Amino acid sequence: MIKEEFYTYTLPNGIKGIHRNIRSGAARCALIIGAGSRDELQGEYGLAHFVEHGLFKGTARRKAYQVNCRLENLGGELNAFTTKEDTTLHATVLRSDFSKAAELISDVVFHSTFPDKELDKEREVIVDEINTYKDSPMDMIYDTFEDMIFEGSELGHNILGRKADLMRHNSAAMHRFVDRTYTTDQMVFASIGAISNARIEQIASRYFACEPASTKSYTRTVPQPYKAFTREVTKHTHQAHCIIGNRAYSITEDKRLPLSLLINILGGPTANSRLNITVRERKGLSYNIEASYTPYSDAGMALIYFSSEHCNADLCREIIDSEIRKLQTERLTARQLSMAKRQYIAQMTISTEGSENYMLGVGRSMLVHGEVDTLDQAFKKINAVTADQILEVANEIFVNNSTLLYK
Contact 27, 200 (CB under 8 A): no
pLDDT digits (tens, 9 = 90+) for 92-130: 999 999 999 999 999 999 999 999 999 999 999 999 999
| Range scoring the smallest mean pLDDT among 19-28, 303-312, 335-344, 385-394 | 19-28
Q: Return mean pLDDT, the chain.
A: 94
Mean pLDDT of 230-251: 95
Give the H/E segment covering residue 108. helix 98-111
3-state secondary structure at position 231: strand
In the chain, pLDDT over 70 holds for what percent of residues?
Answer: 99
The 2-3 sheet, strands edge to edge: 2-3, 6-10, 16-21, 187-193, 26-33, 87-94, 77-82
pLDDT digits (tens, 9 = 90+) for 273-319: 999 999 999 999 999 999 999 999 999 999 999 999 999 999 999 99
pLDDT digits (tens, 9 = 90+) for 373-384: 888 999 999 999
Query: Residues for the chain: how many in total?
Result: 407
pLDDT at 3 exceeding the cut of 80? no
**Partners of 404 in the β-ladder:** 231, 243
Q: 293: burial class by Cβ within 10 Å (0-12, 13-18, 19+)?
A: buried
Q: How far is CA 371 from CA 6, 9, 98, 374, in A?
A: 10, 11, 24, 10
pLDDT at 250 exceeding the cut of 80? yes
Mean pLDDT of 233-251: 95
Mean pLDDT of 255-264: 97
pLDDT digits (tens, 9 = 90+) for 352-362: 777 788 899 99
How far is the C-alpha of 110 from the C-alpha of 6, rounded, in Å? 26
pLDDT at 400 exceeding the cut of 90? yes
pLDDT at 2 exceeding the cut of 50? no
> Over 284-344, what HEC string results?
CCCCCEEEEEEECCCCEEEEEEEEECHHHHHHHHHHHHHHHHHHHHCCCCHHHHHHHHHHH
How far is the C-alpha of 2 from the C-alpha of 22, rounded, in Å? 14
Contacts of 402 (CB under 8 A, 6+ apart): 145, 148, 149, 228, 229, 230, 244, 245, 246
What does the pLDDT read at residue 1? 37
Fold of 230-406: Cytochrome Bc1 Complex; Chain A, domain 1 (3.30.830)
**Second-level CATH architecture of 2-208:** 2-Layer Sandwich (3.30)
What does the pLDDT read at residue 4? 56
Nearest partner of 223 among 322, 315, 143, 157, judged by Cα = 157
User: What residues does CATH 3.30.830.10 cover in the chain?
Assistant: 2-208, 230-406
**Residue 240 — very low, low, confident or very high, per pLDDT cuts 50/70/90?**
very high
What does the pLDDT read at residue 356? 85
Q: How many CA atoms lie within 13 A of 200 on its CB side?
A: 26
Per DSSP, 2 falls in state E
Q: How far is CA 130 from CA 51, 100, 114, 307, 391, in A?
A: 16, 33, 21, 22, 40
What does the pLDDT read at residue 371? 86
**Partners of 152 in the β-ladder:** none
Give the H/E segment covering residue 29. strand 26-33
Contact 75, 6 (CB under 8 A): no
Q: What are the backbone angles phi and psi of residue 213, rounded to the nearest 5°?
A: -65, 140
